[in-house]
């Protein structure tokens, strides 16, 4: 699925639909990135992968998109098996674990260029992403 | 620090790979050159010289990057590092390797304070009101909590969670508490065993919220579910072992908790969780079981039951001892729009030393919150009916019965700060018959 995005710049983060604190803040930062790109007339694909494979099914993401007004076609909300999600997270440096009803995780965004090559990562909660955009 | 080591190793491997390339390439180049004393050989030698120079330059670059990284205060999560430098001999491939190193350089440039390997989050709040939200005898401006929340990154299975909270007591003194200090082994997603001091898993609020106010949509917890030193009647913390996990069942998830730890004791009217162990060796414990609906019309709904028991004594003369048995249920409806919570606790406490028999009490609250675009308005009703002849409640400073109605709203000013307003009316119903109204404002942040 991710290989389908080759040819576009990709900005990838992880989130889960039940998160009402960190994830909305991260997505808000992604929206700010989108605005900057729009201002420059540049294209990018935004990819959000669900941490919680049990709950983040396509229907949940669909509702999430509607509720959070994240309906642009270049925004992709992906779900996968728990194993694949964990593998992807490990490869991209997203650390997470389940605690009670939450997923303990950091705010992190990874950038890929149009060839699919990694070009950097940042924590939008504390870091400046403008240099990577 | 292991992260740093990992990254250094990776970069060093990149450099070593380049050196290895040189070593591997040179003999083959030399062999192919044997017996050809012609311009072609000279050209090849020239190319090799160029290659060696580039390798040397790139090796220097790697050293530079290592030095930069060593100087950085932040040690890192390795952002999905690009593969090690390719094994190459020709200039074009060396250029590719150089590009890879440029990527490493970008990584270093983008490395932020967050990539420390020791995620530290902070929460703080201050406020003003007609009363202090915890101690209604106090009025005016108050300093709330300064809470540091650490979840260091460890191995694949070991987890750790620490929470240090600085709070101001009723007498204005500042105290620091290690509110949570738990280290756990995660066998898989279905089971984690924690050891240490943790939030006792009963109901929803006690484990869903920590001491930082920002994370809570309401201005404060229900009064009877406050932390021990703020007048709570349940032991919010336990020092012991806790097995917890969840598993996918049907269209949802079953969550379970079993725990056992030091029996709490009451000192000066406040529950103490006996951080270092207790002298009598008594144990307490309990369980919680919940089902979280993940699909269909009930998506977002969680229903649970819980039970807790402990032999809790106090430091009165003569000392009381009570077999506390609390059990009940809770329901949570948590969606993008709604945050509705209801919890009920039934007490069936037996007086061990005094022989006054068994005492029944109850406590509960219901709260409705709506996540609107402009903020989160909420309404809450809480009520306790606590038997005052029960030596457990009689010994607790916050053990009196009350009713409270609260209306409030949370307004997020930005991603890291929120202002909360609350109007509340509280009626005390046994120890005194006082009634008071409150107007409270809280400014809460995370950082």
Query: With an 8 Å Cβ cutoff, are B110 and A132 in contact?
Result: yes
Question: ipTM of this model?
Answer: 0.82
All residues of chain A having their beta carbon less than 8 Å from the beta carbon of residue B244 are: 100
Candidate from A80-94, B26-40, B109-123 with smallest mean pLDDT: B26-40
The pLDDT of residue B74 is 38
pLDDT of B2 higher than 50: no
Token digits of residue B381: 């009703």
Name the DSSP letter for residue B74.
-
The pLDDT of residue B376 is 96
Query: With an 8 Å Cβ cutoff, are B295 and A64 in contact?
Result: no
What is the reported pTM?
A: 0.77
The pLDDT of residue B9 is 35
Query: With an 8 Å Cβ cutoff, are B201 and A100 in contact?
Result: yes
> From the list B80, B153, B336, which residue is nearest A110 (CB)?
B80
| Nearest CA among B323, B327, B318, B319 for reference residue B350 | B323
The pLDDT of residue B20 is 34
Query: With an 8 Å Cβ cutoff, are B201 and A21 in contact?
Result: no
User: In sequence order, what are the beta bridge partners of A49?
Assistant: A14, A78
The pLDDT of residue B357 is 94
Contact B337, B371 (CB under 8 A): yes
| Nearest CA among B351, B369, B371 for reference residue B361 | B351
Q: What is the mean pLDDT of residues B7-24?
A: 34
Tally of CB atoms within 10 A around A119: 22
Q: What is the mean pLDDT of residues B253-276?
A: 96
All residues of chain B having their beta carbon less than 8 Å from the beta carbon of residue A10 are: none
pLDDT of B236 higher than 50: yes
Contact A89, A119 (CB under 8 A): no
Query: With an 8 Å Cβ cutoff, are B107 and A100 in contact?
Result: no
Q: Grade residue A1 by pLDDT with cuts at 50, 70 and 90.
A: low
Residues 6+ apart with CB under 8 A from B428: B400, B401, B402, B434, B435
Candidate from B63-72, B242-251, B306-315, B428-437 with smallest mean pLDDT: B63-72
| Nearest CA among A4, A31, A42 for reference residue A129 | A31
Query: With an 8 Å Cβ cutoff, are B77 and A95 in contact?
Result: yes
pLDDT of A85 higher than 50: yes
Task: For B106, name the nearest residue in chain A, comparing CA atoms only.
Answer: A120
Q: Grade residue B388 by pLDDT with cuts at 50, 70 and 90.
A: very high
3-state class of B391 per DSSP? Answer: helix
| Torsion sign across C-alpha atoms A63, A67, A72, A78 | negative
How far off is chain B from A121, nearest CA to CA, in Å?
6
Integer Cα distance of B208 and B330 in angstroms: 13
> From the list A55, A93, A119, which residue is nearest B77 (CB)?
A93
Q: Grade residue A55 by pLDDT with cuts at 50, 70 and 90.
A: confident
Token digits of residue B97: 């390797």
Structural domains of chain A, with CATH: 2-132 (3.40.30.10)
All residues of chain A having their beta carbon less than 8 Å from the beta carbon of residue B378 are: none
Give the tens place of pLDDT for each residue, B323-372.
999 999 999 999 989 999 999 999 999 999 988 999 999 999 999 999 99
Residues 72-91 of chain A whose Cβ lies under 8 A from any Cβ of chain B: 82, 91
Structural domains of chain B, with CATH: 2-110 (no CATH), 120-446 (2.40.160.10)
| Higher local confidence (pLDDT), A41 or A101 | A41
| Nearest CA among B214, B246, B260, B233 for reference residue B376 | B214
Q: With an 8 Å Cβ cutoff, is A121 touching chain B?
A: yes
Tally of CB atoms within 10 A around B367: 21
Q: With an 8 Å Cβ cutoff, is B154 touching chain A?
A: no
Give which of A14, A58, A79, A99 to mutate to test B binding, by max B Cβ within 10 Å: A99
Of all residues in chain B, the percent with pLDDT exceeding 90 is 62
Contact B251, B302 (CB under 8 A): no
Please report, for residues A91, B46, B168, B240, the alpha-carbon distance to residue A79 in angstroms, rounded to integers and kept in the order given.
16, 53, 45, 37
- A–B CB contacts, 8 A cutoff, strictly below: 107
Integer Cα distance of B327 and B311 in angstroms: 15
Query: With an 8 Å Cβ cutoff, are B81 and A118 in contact?
Result: yes
All residues of chain A having their beta carbon less than 8 Å from the beta carbon of residue B115 are: 123
Q: With an 8 Å Cβ cutoff, is B414 touching chain A?
A: no
Place of tokens 């120079």: B53
Q: With an 8 Å Cβ cutoff, is A122 touching chain B?
A: yes
Residues 225-264 of chain B whose Cβ lies under 8 A from any Cβ of chain A: 244-246, 248, 253, 255
The pLDDT of residue A112 is 92
Integer Cα distance of B332 and B298 in angstroms: 11
How far off is chain B from A107, nearest CA to CA, in Å?
9
pLDDT of B21 higher than 50: no
The pLDDT of residue B294 is 86
The pLDDT of residue B138 is 94
> From the list B79, B294, B299, which residue is nearest A121 (CB)?
B79
Query: With an 8 Å Cβ cutoff, are A93 and B80 in contact?
Result: yes
Q: Which string of DSSP letters, residue by residue, matches B328-365?
A: EEEEEEESSSEEEEEEEEEEEEEESSS---EEEEEEEE
pLDDT of B45 higher than 90: no
The pLDDT of residue B34 is 37
| Torsion sign across C-alpha atoms B393, B398, B403, B407 | negative
Q: Grade residue B120 by pLDDT with cuts at 50, 70 and 90.
A: confident
pLDDT of B228 higher than 50: yes
The pLDDT of residue B205 is 97
The pLDDT of residue B110 is 45
pLDDT of A37 higher than 50: yes
Q: With an 8 Å Cβ cutoff, is B2 touching chain A?
A: no
Helix (H) or strand (E) holding A11: strand A10-15
């Amino acid at each position: 699925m991710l290989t389908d995005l080759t040819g576009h710049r990709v900005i990838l983060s992880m989130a889960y639909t039940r998160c009402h604190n960190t994830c909305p803040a991260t997505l808000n930062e992604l929206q700010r990135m989108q605005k900057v790109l729009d201002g420059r007339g540049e294209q990018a694909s935004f990819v959000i992968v669900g941490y919680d494979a049990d709950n983040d099914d396509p229907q949940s993401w669909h509702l999430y998109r509607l509720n959070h007004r994240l309906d642009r076609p270049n925004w992709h909300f992906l779900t996968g098996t728990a194993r694949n999600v964990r593998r992807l997270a490990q490869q991209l440096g997203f650390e997470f674990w389940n605690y009670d009803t939450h997923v303990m995780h950091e705010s992190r965004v990874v950038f890929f260029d149009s060839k699919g090559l990694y070009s950097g990562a940042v924590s939008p909660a504390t870091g400046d992403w403008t240099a990577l955009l | 620090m292991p992260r740093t080591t990992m990254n250094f190793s990776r970069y060093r491997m990149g450099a070593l790979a380049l050196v290895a390339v040189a070593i591997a390439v040179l003999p083959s180049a030399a062999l192919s050159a044997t017996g050809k004393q012609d311009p072609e050989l000279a050209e090849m030698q020239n190319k090799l010289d160029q290659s060696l120079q580039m390798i040397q330059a790139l090796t220097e670059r790697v050293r530079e990057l290592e030095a930069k990284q060593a100087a950085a205060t932040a040690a890192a999560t390795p952002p999905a590092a690009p593969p090690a430098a390719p094994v190459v001999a020709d200039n074009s491939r060396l250029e590719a390797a150089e590009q890879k190193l440029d990527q490493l350089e970008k990584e270093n440039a983008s490395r932020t304070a967050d990539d420390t390997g020791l995620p530290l989050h902070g929460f703080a709040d201050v406020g003003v009101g007609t009363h202090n939200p915890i101690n209604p005898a106090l009025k005016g401006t108050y300093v709330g909590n300064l809470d540091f929340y650490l979840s260091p990154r460890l191995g694949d299975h070991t987890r750790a969670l620490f929470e240090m909270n600085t709070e101001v007591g009723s007498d204005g003194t500042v105290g620091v508490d290690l509110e949570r200090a738990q280290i756990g082994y995660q066998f898989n997603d279905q089971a984690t065993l924690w050891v240490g001091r943790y939030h006792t898993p009963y109901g929803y609020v006690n484990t869903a919220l920590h001491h930082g106010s920002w994370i809570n949509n309401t201005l404060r917890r229900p009064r009877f579910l406050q932390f021990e030193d703020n007048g709570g009647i349940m032991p919010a913390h336990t020092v012991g072992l806790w097995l917890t996990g969840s598993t996918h069942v049907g269209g949802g998830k079953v969550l379970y908790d079993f725990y056992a730890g030091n029996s709490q004791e009451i000192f000066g009217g406040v529950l103490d969780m006996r951080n270092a162990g207790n002298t009598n060796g008594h144990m307490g414990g309990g369980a919680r079981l919940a089902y979280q609906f993940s699909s269909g019309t009930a998506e977002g709904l969680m229903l649970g039951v819980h039970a807790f028991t402990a032999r809790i004594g106090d430091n009165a003369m003569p000392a009381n001892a009570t077999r506390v048995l609390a059990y009940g249920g809770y329901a949570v409806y948590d969606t993008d729009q709604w945050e509705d919570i209801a919890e009920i606790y039934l007490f069936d406490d037996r007086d061990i030393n005094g022989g006054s028999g068994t005492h029944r009490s109850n406590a509960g609250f219901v709260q409705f919150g709506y996540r609107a675009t402009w903020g989160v308005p909420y309404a809450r009703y809480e009520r306790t009916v606590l038997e005052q002849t029960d030596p457990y409640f009689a010994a607790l400073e916050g053990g009196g019965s009350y009713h409270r109605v609260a209306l409030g709203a949370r307004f997020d000013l930005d991603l890291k700060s929120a202002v909360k307003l609350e109007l509340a009316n509280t009626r005390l119903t046994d120890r005194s018959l006082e009634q008071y109204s409150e107007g409270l404002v809280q400014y809460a942040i995370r950082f």
